[in-house]
Chains A and B, each alone.
Chain A
Amino acid sequence: MAVPILKQGGYLIASIQAALTDSDVVQLQDDLVERVGEYRSRGIIVDVTALDVMDSFASRALRGLAHMTRLRGAETVIVGIQPEVAFAMVQLGMNLEDVHTALDLEEGLAFLDAQTKEPGDSDR
């Protein structure tokens, strides 16, 4: 099942709704890397709240996604990793290395706002 991607201001939000096959994950990766250019997005949020498992393939794909989009000039934040999923990832020996994570969508947006603020932007 394809993951819907919403454009919200300068950001893209991919909200995973159901269990993903490996090819769905790869598709999401490709779609986001392409849309960063299409919409000139500065930030991406991947919401994994609905995922009940994050195995080595999914973790590696999300890490790859974050690295690829960074090369395209956009920061990626993974939000909503469930406590059980976090536990399993650590047991598995998986880590997302330098990929940004946040508790939920709200925190993720706040993080991107702080990250993508231009030096010349006035504080509001």
Chain B
Amino acid sequence: MTQIDEIRVRVESDVDVVEARQKGRELAATLGFSSTDLTLIVTAISEVARNIVVYAHHGEIRLSTINDGSRRGIEVVAEDTGPGIVDISLAMRDAYSTGNGLGLGLPGARRLMDEFDIESVPSKGTRVSMKKWAPEYA
């Protein structure tokens, strides 16, 4: 799998969340996603970027185009060095939140994307990696 065109967005405040969304939309638009898919991707980016602001205060979103030989797609990595998540399975459960949110961020983002991975070490940080594959192209 080769990676090209990595875009990095520093995430520290709600303005950066908007920036990450816009950059993600621009990159995904070059891959031939439908407008519905673009909105799903952008919504997922918004959720993981906000998690950085709310829980870790600063981190980074990395956006890249990916290619597995037959398909192209977008990969979104959200990484922070914040407090980490003690119980990931609990954090992935709908309606569970340690903040004052709705607890839809992580499980919701997983539903919006094709692939979703999360690694977190308490007091070290969290890394979320999400992928969505573009429809087959000729």
Contact = CB atoms under 8 A, between A and B. Distances in A.
Contact of A56 (B18, B21, B36, B105): B105
Interface stretch (B38-46, B59-67, B68-76, B122-130): B38-46
Nearest to B37: A84
Interface residues of A, number: 24
B108 A22 contact: no
B12 interface: no
Nearest to A20: B18
B18 A21 contact: yes
Which range holds the interface residue count of chain B?
20 to 34
Interface in B69-116: 94, 101-102, 104-105, 107-109, 111-112
Contacts of B105: 56
B50 A22 contact: yes
Interface in A55-77: 55-57, 59-60
A74 B21 CA distance: 33
B29 to A, nearest CB: 11
A60 B35 contact: no
B14 A55 contact: no
Nearest to B94: A93
Contact of A93 (B22, B40, B111): B111
Interface of B: 14-15, 17-18, 21-22, 25, 35-36, 38-40, 42-43, 46-47, 50, 94, 101-102, 104-105, 107-109, 111-112
